[in-house]
């Protein structure tokens, strides 16, 4: 709180200093202008407006279209400000910097003018201090061009820019963000690319200032015009880079969801690349139509918890998105408001929605158009996830029994062993249909298929949701019991054996179809095949001792 107040005090003092400076030196600076100076300043002002509107990320290629403070201060304005400083003095350099900050950059949220003015005048004291170096810079630019003159000019200008960066802007950021100043300094001093950028830009400023002094204002302005072209190219490159980055994040999020891990970090980064403030809202990402149903399912939440009244309002907003087909639906009540933004795939199909919850006290942090853009980004991601997940589900399901096939069972076994190694328990049941060959031989393969399908249904009805069951191959079934004690494992095995015997299936001689069951227990030292092998040996003993029984592996996990 103290740091925040200190920052606000500095902003207010900077505004007063700027106002006093304009009153004291403004009229004298205007009277001192010659026609050549006026032409140079008008050209510099035009370039300043263009660069301020572009606000191109020149210090480093960013993944977001929204430049960070670091790229904002070591950007394409540096050569222009230094050139104006060397040719016209600190007052006009400060005015150009002030104008650049007051321009409303494209794509950024529209801050009120008083807020932008307060932020812009923060640079005024540092530029007023530039009066110390304005004379040496002007003399270095006025002499005959040489490497020595260039070196002197670049050294003075680069030292000044770095001093402003480290001794003025960094402390302000530390106050505003309540961060450690030493950490900010260490990061900036270790950034060799920024230092190199400053040196290149000060060399450019030397060329502009010398040509303007020796050849006239118009040639000096002409040397500044490429800055606008470079700014436009960097802006387009930043947009392309942001798009590539978001595609990479989308791929990572899909991969995380398909591997049953948390995709929230990737989706969070995806949203932050559009606007970092998005994830500070009370925000929900919902998917539509997962599993082939016309239902909504919540994927993840960001921000503060949502009151129950707004939760119900959010459900109504999602229903409106589904029924009306609108891209944006807004629901309001006395408890607050809900904004639902439809997330469509590349073909226009509804794949989900981004829902923003606001209580009456919450102020909007992000413009509606940015939420629409974020929803448009995640729509294809949700569509891709749904398509791939459906394909993988089909590839992992046994069509005859409806249970996971051997591939799905292998994946469940892998997850089970991970659980065991982290301290959990698993019991493994291996079931085999007794005399199954006789069913195929005497009753036909269709009867064998019906028997397998019925046994699959019986198994599915007799295991919990946290357990896993699947067709292991042929007439064998495998059941994984999560955190099951020895007693429960044997109880479930016996229940399955009895349910299948009483399930209405019969051999050709009329006797009921039965199964033999082998039971084993996973240990943390086991590989995936070890526990299955023990269950298989127990099943073999059950077959050899009369069938239609449960046999336990002698090796019991503790």
Active centre residues (catalytic): 475
Q: What does the alpha-carbon distance between residue 77 and residue 104 come to, in Å, rounded to a whole number? A: 15
What are the tokens at 430? 């291996």
Cα–chain center distance at 3: 30
Q: What does the alpha-carbon distance between residue 467 and residue 464 come to, in Å, rounded to a whole number? A: 5
Q: What angle do CA 101, 243, 260 make, to 5 degrees?
A: 125
Q: What does the alpha-carbon distance between residue 67 and residue 70 come to, in Å, rounded to a whole number? A: 8
Question: Residue 216: how many CA atoms within 13 Å on its side-chain side?
Answer: 3
Q: What does the alpha-carbon distance between residue 106 and residue 378 come to, in Å, rounded to a whole number? A: 23
Q: Is 199 left (phi over 0), alpha (psi -120 to 50) or beta?
A: alpha
Q: Give φ, ψ of 8 to 5 degrees.
A: -65, -35
Going by their DSSP bridges, the two strands 282-288 and 476-482 should be labelled as: unpaired
What's the chain's length in residues?
Answer: 558
Q: Are 51 and 77 in contact (CB under 8 A)?
A: yes
Give every CB contact of residue 364 below 8 A, 6+ residues apart in sequence.
358
Alpha helices (runs of H) in 426-485, residue ranges in sequence order? 436-443, 445-461
What share of residues in the chain are helix, strand, coil (percent, to 5)?
Answer: 65, 15, 25
């Amino acid at each position: 709180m103290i740091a925040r107040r200190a920052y606000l005090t500095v902003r207010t003092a900077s505004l007063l200093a700027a106002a006093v400076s304009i009153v004291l030196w403004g009229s004298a600076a205007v009277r001192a202008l010659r026609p050549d100076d006026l032409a140079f300043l008008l050209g510099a002002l035009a370039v300043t407006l263009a660069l301020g509107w572009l606000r191109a990320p020149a210090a480093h290629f960013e993944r977001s279209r929204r430049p960070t403070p670091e790229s904002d201060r070591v950007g394409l304005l540096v050569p222009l400000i230094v050139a104006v400083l060397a040719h016209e003095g600190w007052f006009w350099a400060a005015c150009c910097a002030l104008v650049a900050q007051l321009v409303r950059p494209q794509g950024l949220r529209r801050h009120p003018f008083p807020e932008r003015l307060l932020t812009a005048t923060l640079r005024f004291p540092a530029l007023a201090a530039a009066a110390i170096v304005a004379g040496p810079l002007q003399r270095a630019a006025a002499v005959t061009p040489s490497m020595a003159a260039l070196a002197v000019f670049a050294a003075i200008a680069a030292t000044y820019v770095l001093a402003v960066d480290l001794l003025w802007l960094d402390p302000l950021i530390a106050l505003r963000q309540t961060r450690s100043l030493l950490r900010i300094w260490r990061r900036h001093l270790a950034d060799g690319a920024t230092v190199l950028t400053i040196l290149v830009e000060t060399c450019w400023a030397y060329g502009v200032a010398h040509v303007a002094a020796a050849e006239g204002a118009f040639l000096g302005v002409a040397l500044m015009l490429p800055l606008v072209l470079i700014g436009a190219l960097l802006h387009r490159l930043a947009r392309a880079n942001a798009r590539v980055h978001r595609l990479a994040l989308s791929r990572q999020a899909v991969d995380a969801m398909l591997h049953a891990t948390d995709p929230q970090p990737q989706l969070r980064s995806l949203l932050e690349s559009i606007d970092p403030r998005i994830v500070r809202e009370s925000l929900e990402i919902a998917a539509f139509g997962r599993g082939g149903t016309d239902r909504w399912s919540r994927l993840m939440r960001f921000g503060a918890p949502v009151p129950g009244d707004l939760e119900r309002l959010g459900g109504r907003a999602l229903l409106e998105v589904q029924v009306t087909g609108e891209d944006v639906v807004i629901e309001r009540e006395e408890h607050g408001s809900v904004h639902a933004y439809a997330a469509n795939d590349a073909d226009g199909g509804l794949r989900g929605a981004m829902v923003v919850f606001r209580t009456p006290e919450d102020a909007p942090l992000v413009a509606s158009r940015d939420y629409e853009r974020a929803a448009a980004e995640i729509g294809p991601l949700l569509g891709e996830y749904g398509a791939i997940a459906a394909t993988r589900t089909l590839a992992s399901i046994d069509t005859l029994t409806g249970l996971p096939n051997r591939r799905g069972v292998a994946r469940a076994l892998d997850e089970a062993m991970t659980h065991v190694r982290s301290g959990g328990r698993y019991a493994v049941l291996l079931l085999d249909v007794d005399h199954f060959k006789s069913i195929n031989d005497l009753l036909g393969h269709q009867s064998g298929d019906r028997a397998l399908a019925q046994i699959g249904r019986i198994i599915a009805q007799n295991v919990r949701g946290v357990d896993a069951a699947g067709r292991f191959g042929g007439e064998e079934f495998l059941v994984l019991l999560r955190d099951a004690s020895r007693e429960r494992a044997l109880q479930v095995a016996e229940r399955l054996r009895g349910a299948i015997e009483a399930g209405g299936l019969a051999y050709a001689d009329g006797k009921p179809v039965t199964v033999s069951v082998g039971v084993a227990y996973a240990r943390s030292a086991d590989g995936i095949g070890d526990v299955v092998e023990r269950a298989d040996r127990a099943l073999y003993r059950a077959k050899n001792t009369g069938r239609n029984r449960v046999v336990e592996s002698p090796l019991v996990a503790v």
